[in-house]
Amino acid sequence: MRYDFVGVNQMSNTGPLRALLDGRFAFFREFLRHPNQIGSIIPSSRFLERRIVETAGINSAKTIVELGPGVGGITRAILSAMGGGAKLVSVEINAHFHSLVSRIKDDRFIPHLGNALNLKEIISIYGLSAPEVVISDIPFSTMSPATGTKIIGEITSTLSPGGRFVAYQLSKRVSFLSLPFLGPGHVEVELFNIPPMRIYRWEKSHI
């Protein structure tokens, strides 16, 4: 059985179940402190993690971005799926979550404390090529539409031509915000998650 959903393995040496509970507790505590920024009371399920990695086509990407890694479950799933020469940058606004994902030791992984609004600048700080994949779980439904629009604009302009933007959300707000930038996109639902989650996927045009 795998309990590596958070980089939480490193949070506790008292056993995997304890580590799992520690991760969930850390997530819930941060939700109580910053409910609008976190947007969910528990981390993603392993079913959702797997589905996102498949939907994004991680294994063919050289530069991958994860916005809002939280306690790092999807971060670890991405690292397991991506190639040896690829790089993953996580952008997390919450200092506590950033410190948790920073414990993941992998040469391909660059954890960054910052705001998705500054994605293009963050990519250039690390001298990386334009990402072929941006994965996001930042809660578009609890931020202002103006901020959400700015973030989607930043993602669109940062993605490489033909690059994929994958967002998993309970609310449909992200699809309305993305429509003017990326078109209607494709949506699926993952039922094995609390709550069931919509997974959106857009591809940036080559033109």
Ligand X SMILES: C[S@@+](CC[C@H](N)C(=O)[O-])C[C@H]1O[C@@H](n2cnc3c(N)ncnc32)[C@H](O)[C@@H]1O
Residue 150's identity, in one-letter code, is K
Binding segment for ligand X among 33-41, 126-134, 173-181, 182-190 (CB under 6 A)? 33-41
Place of tokens 């639902």: 189
In the complex, least distance from residue 13 CB atom to ligand X, rounded to whole angstroms: 23
40 or 63: whose CB is closer to ligand X?
Answer: 40
Establish if 67 lies at the interface with ligand X (CB under 6 A). Answer: yes
Q: Work out which of 7, 26, 64, 73 binds ligand X, going by CB under 6 A.
A: 73
194 or 207: whose CB is closer to ligand X?
Answer: 194
Establish if 93 lies at the interface with ligand X (CB under 6 A). Answer: yes
Judge if the upstream peptide bond of residue 195 is cis by omega within 30 degrees of 0: yes
| Structural element, H or E, at residue 64 | strand 63-67
Establish if 7 lies at the interface with ligand X (CB under 6 A). Answer: no
Q: Work out which of 26, 53, 91, 110 binds ligand X, going by CB under 6 A.
A: 91
Residue 45 to residue 42: CA distance in whole angstroms: 9
Q: Work out which of 9, 44, 156, 178 binds ligand X, going by CB under 6 A.
A: 44
Sheet holding 186-190: strands in order across?
A: 109-113, 87-92, 63-67, 133-136, 164-169, 197-203, 186-190
Residue 15 to residue 80: CA distance in whole angstroms: 22
Query: Where do contacts with ligand X occur on this chain (CB under 6 A)?
Result: 37-40, 43-44, 67-70, 73-74, 91-94, 97, 115-116, 137-139
